[in-house]
Every structure is written in C-alpha cells, then in structure tokens.
Amino acid sequence: MDEDATVGVCNFTFPRMPVQSRVNASRMCTSLISSRTHMPRGGAIFEVSRILDAKIAEKAGACAIVLSQSICFCNSRMIDPSLIAKFKAAVSIPIIARVRVGHVVEAETLQAVGVDFIDESEILGTADKENHINKGDFTCPFICGSTNLGEALERIKEGAAMIRTQGIESISGDIATTVQNVRSVMEDIKLLHNMSEEERLEFSGEIGVPSELAAQTGRMGRLPVVHFAAGGIVTPADAAFMMILGCDGVFVGPEMFDWPDPYKRARGIVEAVNRYNDPNAVVVAMSGLN
C-alpha cells in the first residue's frame, strides 16, 4: 500500500485484499491505536468545505479540520479524493475525511490518499446497514459517532480510535440532543466507575456492551479513547459547556463559517475549549461575535 502522504490522487493503487475481514493483517492493540491519537485532546476540530475556511480554521488554532463537499448532491458520499491534495497543500494541521458507515472501499481510498483520520460518519450516510467497518484492519485511525455508551464501546471494539458523541447536525445551533447524549455517556461511565468488577460484567450484559471494554472504562472512569462532542456547536459557550461535561474537545459544524467574522468566532471557540473553567475567559471569547 502506498503510504506516501504526498502522492497525487491518480497514482494510488488499491491494496489487493478481500473486502471480508482481513484476519491476516496485523492488528494494532488498543493501547497503541489510542496512544497515537491523543493529540487532538483539548482542541477544536472544524468542518470546512472551502480552502479559505480551512485556512481560517488553522489560523484560529484549530487542531484539525474535517472536509465536506459543498455541492449538495454530493453531500452524502465520500469527498472527491482530488480535493484532498488541495487542502493538504493549503494547511499543515491534520485532515479528516468522512466515509459512509460500513463503506470499506471509501475508507481504503481515503487511506490510500493519506488523510490523517477517517470519520466513519452516520451523518454522511450508511452504506452497510448491518456492519460497521472493521477498523482494526486499517492503519489509518478512525473516528466514529455514538449517542450512548453502548454504541461508543461497540465502535471502540471495532477499532475506533476516537469517539464523536453526536447530537443533531443542523444550522439551528440546537445542542440539546448533543448535551443529552454526552450526559448519557458520562453518567453511564460514572455508574460503571463506581461498580465492582462483577457488577460491571452484569451491567455490560444489560446494556449490551463488550464486557472487557466496559471493565476498562469502569476502571479508568472515562472512555479509553479521545472523546469529542459534535452537533450544533457554534459558540464558545457551547464549546465550554461540552468541556465541562467532560469531553476532550469539540467538532464545529460548517455553519460556523456563515456567521460574521468566522475567524474571531473560531478563535473564541479554541480559547473556550482551553479555558472552559474560567468564566472571564469565556466572556472574552464570546464578546463581539455577532
């Protein structure tokens, strides 16, 4: 497999492996996957569809960008790979691109092109109603969405290196579902943390989560991977709220760039993710945005 990050899109070749689970491929242990993907912690990741917005996000302090394509009929599929090289040339921060749930070939394509993370995104769409991608077969780390602890741990069992607890993606800025889902995950983690090992085993059976991951989560008192929130987050106060709820960072939707002075807003979000516990800092981050 060509791992050259600078390869032009016309030169990559697909790895010649069957679509079924590649049991002979080397699998990284969870701690290694996790160790390589700590770096977004404490950061804000911005969804962009234009080079200009990518540069604004980088300048404002984004720790990564997620690419989306602004042509509406293409919104439900993987981005045109030829666009990825343009974003890579434009910014130096990590680049994330999305694939539909279960779409192994979209994922192989993005890995061949050389993105930093692949987001197996239920928001983008679903290609396989029965199966998520077997992410442990890939060297590129994956981000997956969840709405509760059970889903989060299932995705981690499949090899997800980062979890995106997801609310509603809409331009209305409605974060109520995001907050509800983050709280649900955090409360179940807290319950697990306060249980004995036997109780954790029983609880994992009740809510249908892998028992060994439930045990690890309970012992650690957190998800064993980086955990961000997503869905309707467009203000520094929203971002700070997610950090107070216990997230490691936030995803910000592309609607942020439709607001006046997106640079200032993005910078405010980056600052609020860092200084979420300081109301005075959040005041500064929120002021003069509209």
Q: Where does this chain bind other proteins (CB under 8 A)?
A: 3-6, 30-32, 34-43, 55, 58-64, 90-95, 111, 114-117, 139-141, 216, 220-222, 224-226, 267, 270-271, 273-275, 277-281
Of 178, 63, 79, 91, give the one whose Cα is nearest residue 119: 79
Of 253, 216, 262, 210, give the one whose Cα is nearest residue 59: 262
Contact indicator for 175, 158 with CB cutoff of 8 Å: no
Contact indicator for 63, 44 with CB cutoff of 8 Å: yes
CB of 73 to other proteins, least distance (A): 29
d(CA 225, CA 271): 23
CB of 39 or CB of 176, closer to other proteins: 39
d(CA 252, CA 269): 9
CB of 169 or CB of 285, closer to other proteins: 285
CB of 290 to other proteins, least distance (A): 20
CB of 152 to other proteins, least distance (A): 14
CB of 175 or CB of 189, closer to other proteins: 189
d(CA 248, CA 266): 17
Angle among Cα 145, 147, 151 to the nearest 5 degrees reads 70
CB of 32 or CB of 74, closer to other proteins: 32
CB of 227 to other proteins, least distance (A): 9
Contact indicator for 45, 251 with CB cutoff of 8 Å: yes
CB of 255 to other proteins, least distance (A): 22
CB of 55 or CB of 173, closer to other proteins: 55
